[in-house]
A and B are shown apart, each in its own frame.
Chain A
Amino acid sequence: MTAAFVAGADASSEVPLKRRLKRAERTRRLKALALILPLLLFLLFTFLGPIAGMLWRSVDDWEVRQVMPHTVAALADWDGKDVPGEPAFAALAGDIRTARDAGTVAIASKRLNYALNGFRTIMSGTARNLKALPEPGTAKDTLIGINPAWGERATWAAIKGASGPLTSFYLLGALDLTRNLDGAIVAAPEEQAIYRDVFGRTFTISLGVTVLCLILGFPVAYMLATLPTGQSNVLMIFVLLPFWTSLLVRTCAWIVVLQSEGIVNDSLRWIGLIDEPLRLIYNRFGVYVAMTHVLLPFMILPLYSSMRSISPAYMRAAASLGASPVTAFLRIYLPQTVPGIGAGSLLVFILAIGYYITPALVGGAADQMISYFIAFYTTETVNWGLASALGAVLLLATLLLAVVYGKLVHGQQVTGGMKN
């Protein structure tokens, strides 16, 4: 702005005012960009890059291509209708010998085993028993002699399907789909088809938590918005303190409160309602309670701010025109809270579908949400392709909802420290 100021004051110079103003405006814009740029570059390295890398891994198919390059090349124009000819077998025998010497058989067989269960055994057995390169022309018979599976179309189709460089295998797998021998997309075999179930569960739990938060949050927001500011500020502490308390503290607190020797069970037993302790934790009930507790402030705060902006004059006007309190509430008050309900519900839902820590600690095996499986495939079984594909689906769902949320709140400020 200083530049613009100086340019305006200095009218005696020869450059026309219009051009000088334009130049000043450009310097100004460049200066602003220079201030934003460090953060953008930083996020490129610490956030956007990593996420792009994860998305890349969900389609990247490098293992077979790298370990068995000659086989991949020999299969390039195989039509997949019949077992390939001698050249492909010779290439395979050569690749397996090389891979065995380089110690890379396991890399390719791990990938091939995802495509065809049992492939690991085929590969390791062949690598072990193939003592020398077969004589020219005998590769096919030698390999089928070592393992008859080499004489099957499915074995070769698995290699062809895994020969990269890009694959839809993991993304299809994340949606319980697979390709059959002819390359058509079909439903995955039943024992592998678990992810639609997991996505469905993630959706159900998130929706349940959102509805619970709305039911519990609405009266609180209404009370806080209606009470005089002094009183509502004091009561707001009851919302903000849990909001600021560590997620782990709150999860830990629920385990202590709900466990079989916990306060809730003890009180119920003391009253005489139950004889045996109820199972309240490490199941779906515990997940609902703990997640609702953690996410409730994210519902109350946007609801509160939308209710605060509703003038009481509307309700008085409705009453003076003869509306009953119920009608006035339903027809006048409630419609005005819809933006708040929408914003709060979407926020809670977006946060809920990505939850990992709380279900992992208070849920049972059947209550784990999609994030758990992403973490599991990343660190436990090291199936990074599948982990990335599941992550890609979750990311897509989250971003779509976030765009809707952004349109809804229209650049309104976001409150609070998000917790996962």
Chain B
Amino acid sequence: MSDNHSPRTASQRIAWITTVVVASLVLVFLMAPILAIMPLSFSSGSYLTYPLPGFSLRWYEDFLNSPRWVSSLKNSVIIGVASTILSMVLGTLASLGLAQWKSKFKPLVLAIVLSPVVVPGVITAVGLYFFFAPLGLTGSYAGLILAHTALSTPFVVITVSATLQSFDMNLARAAASLGASPIYAFRRVILPLILPGLASGALFAFATSFDEVVVVLFMAGPEQRTLPREMFSGIRENISPTITAAAVILTTISVILLATLEALRRRNERLKGNLR
């Protein structure tokens, strides 16, 4: 691949350099705004402008001392963890079933399972709002956890199914031929091998719930406001440096999730390489 970009003629070199320059500018466009607000959260002043008057952690202190922000972070974690567990159970079972199910209805079932990703957030939110209100599930943790589970399960199914596809079913057959019960074979042979895939699925599910705001906007009562929901009203009313502190905290969590995912992917690739 690498010899593809070693241009032979002058015009090719110019074309390649132009591409690199334009592409780099686009990459800067992608990163710059996120990097630009980070220093503002460490400002000692209360205006969101540069140059910073000085360095301080007062906005983080503000965040941690504000019951609104702290409880929103807590809510995000509660709803995120609960919906991740639920979507992992439902999604992994369904992936295992889908992997061995052969039927002409399979594409239809798959389309239904993946549809929460495609349907616009507002439609899901409005539908849930109408449907859950008479059941008393709006303004409750249970309602939000159920809704977020529906939204994140597709990502679990996608990731776990991809892992199962690369899983060698002969290993399970070998276990069975050696006398392992299906459950024992799953626990001792299948599970350890698909564990990185499951972990990626869980991270995707958690990130989906952690970032979701439209459903929360419709369904959460004041008690269940999540961190993105709190940021939404913060941005609407008046952007204070505390919001930039919240943004940095959120971004840090995203980076940790992304780094973990990347590490899992690398480990998985290494394992596959060893097997060959």
A and B from one complex: yes
**Residues on A facing B (Cβ under 8 Å):** 1-2, 5, 28-29, 31-40, 42-43, 45-51, 53-54, 57, 216-217, 219-220, 222-224, 226-229, 235, 238-242, 244-257, 259, 261-263, 266, 293, 296-297, 312, 315, 325, 350, 353-357, 361, 371, 374-375, 378-379, 384, 387-388, 391, 394-395, 398-399, 402, 406, 413-414, 417-420
> Contact between B211 and A325 (Cβ–Cβ < 8 Å)?
no
Q: Which chain A residue has the least Cβ–Cβ distance from B3?
A: A312
The verdict on A46 contacting B149 (CB below 8 Å), with A53-B127, A242-B31 known, is yes
| B173 interfacial contact with A, CB 8 Å | yes
| B79 interfacial contact with A, CB 8 Å | no
The verdict on A241 contacting B120 (CB below 8 Å), with A35-B93, A43-B150, A252-B247 known, is no
Q: Which chain B residue has the least Cβ–Cβ distance from A261?
A: B49
Choose from A353, A357, A394, A418 the contact partner of B213 (Cβ within 8 Å): A357
B217–chain A nearest beta-carbon distance, Å: 8
B140–chain A nearest beta-carbon distance, Å: 13
The docked-state distance in angstroms from the alpha carbon of A384 to that of B31 is 40
6 closest residue pairs by CB, A with B: A354-B120, A35-B97, A50-B127, A420-B121, A32-B101, A50-B131
| B23 interfacial contact with A, CB 8 Å | yes
**Residues on B facing A (Cβ under 8 Å):** 1-5, 9, 11-12, 15, 19-20, 22-24, 26-27, 29-34, 36-37, 40, 47-50, 90-91, 93-94, 96-98, 100-103, 109, 111-132, 146-147, 149-150, 153, 155, 157-158, 162, 169, 172-173, 176-177, 182, 204, 207-208, 210-211, 213-214, 217-218, 228, 231-232, 235-236, 239, 243-244, 247, 250-251, 254-255, 257-258
The docked-state distance in angstroms from the alpha carbon of A371 to that of B103 is 37
> Contact between B150 and A293 (Cβ–Cβ < 8 Å)?
no
A296–chain B nearest beta-carbon distance, Å: 6
The docked-state distance in angstroms from the alpha carbon of A220 to that of B117 is 26
> Contact between B122 and A252 (Cβ–Cβ < 8 Å)?
no
Q: Which chain A residue has the least Cβ–Cβ distance from B9?
A: A325
The verdict on A39 contacting B214 (CB below 8 Å), with A246-B251, A312-B3 known, is no
A306–chain B nearest beta-carbon distance, Å: 15
Contacts of A398 in B (CB 8 A): 118-120, 123
The verdict on A229 contacting B123 (CB below 8 Å), with A47-B116, A250-B33 known, is no
> Contact between A252 and B231 (Cβ–Cβ < 8 Å)?
yes
Choose from A216, A263, A391 the contact partner of B29 (Cβ within 8 Å): A216
Choose from B30, B147, B162 the contact partner of A239 (Cβ within 8 Å): B30
The docked-state distance in angstroms from the alpha carbon of A293 to that of B118 is 20
> Contact between B112 and A48 (Cβ–Cβ < 8 Å)?
yes
The verdict on A39 contacting B90 (CB below 8 Å), with A32-B97, A54-B127, A418-B117 known, is yes
> Contact between B155 and A417 (Cβ–Cβ < 8 Å)?
yes
The docked-state distance in angstroms from the alpha carbon of A73 to that of B23 is 69
Contacts of B126 in A (CB 8 A): 54, 374-375, 378, 387-388, 391
Chain B contact residues: helix, strand, loop or mixed: helix
The docked-state distance in angstroms from the alpha carbon of A45 to that of B1 is 49
The docked-state distance in angstroms from the alpha carbon of A242 to that of B27 is 10
Contacts of A43 in B (CB 8 A): 112-113, 116, 150, 153
The verdict on A420 contacting B91 (CB below 8 Å), with A1-B172, A256-B40 known, is no
Q: Which chain A residue has the least Cβ–Cβ distance from B120?
A: A354
26 residue pairs of the A-B complex, CB under 8 angstroms, read: A1-B100, A29-B102, A36-B97, A36-B109, A43-B116, A47-B115, A50-B127, A50-B132, A51-B127, A54-B123, A217-B26, A223-B19, A239-B30, A241-B34, A246-B228, A246-B254, A249-B34, A252-B37, A261-B49, A296-B30, A325-B11, A371-B122, A375-B126, A375-B217, A375-B218, A413-B162
Contacts of B247 in A (CB 8 A): 246, 248-249, 252-253
Choose from A33, A312, A419, A420 the contact partner of B122 (Cβ within 8 Å): A420
> Contact between B122 and A246 (Cβ–Cβ < 8 Å)?
no
Contacts of B250 in A (CB 8 A): 245-246, 248-249
A357–chain B nearest beta-carbon distance, Å: 6
Contacts of A38 in B (CB 8 A): 90, 93-94
> Contact between B158 and A420 (Cβ–Cβ < 8 Å)?
no
> Contact between B33 and A244 (Cβ–Cβ < 8 Å)?
no
Q: Which chain B residue has the least Cβ–Cβ distance from A296?
A: B30
Q: Which chain A residue has the least Cβ–Cβ distance from B129?
A: A378
> Contact between A1 and B173 (Cβ–Cβ < 8 Å)?
yes
Contacts of B47 in A (CB 8 A): 261
> Contact between A315 and B228 (Cβ–Cβ < 8 Å)?
no
> Contact between A248 and B214 (Cβ–Cβ < 8 Å)?
no
The docked-state distance in angstroms from the alpha carbon of A54 to that of B133 is 13
Contacts of B5 in A (CB 8 A): 226-227
The docked-state distance in angstroms from the alpha carbon of A22 to that of B244 is 63
Choose from B103, B232, B251, B258 the contact partner of A240 (Cβ within 8 Å): B258
> Contact between B97 and A420 (Cβ–Cβ < 8 Å)?
no
The docked-state distance in angstroms from the alpha carbon of A217 to that of B25 is 11
> Contact between B120 and A1 (Cβ–Cβ < 8 Å)?
no
The verdict on A248 contacting B119 (CB below 8 Å), with A36-B109, A315-B4 known, is no
The verdict on A261 contacting B48 (CB below 8 Å), with A54-B123, A223-B19, A244-B207 known, is yes
Q: Which chain B residue has the least Cβ–Cβ distance from A233?
A: B262
Q: Which chain A residue has the least Cβ–Cβ distance from B22?
A: A219
Choose from A235, A244, A312, A371 the contact partner of B254 (Cβ within 8 Å): A244
The docked-state distance in angstroms from the alpha carbon of A47 to that of B153 is 11
Q: Which chain B residue has the least Cβ–Cβ distance from A357?
A: B213
B266–chain A nearest beta-carbon distance, Å: 10
The verdict on A42 contacting B23 (CB below 8 Å), with A246-B228, A312-B1 known, is no
Contacts of B37 in A (CB 8 A): 249, 252-253, 256-257
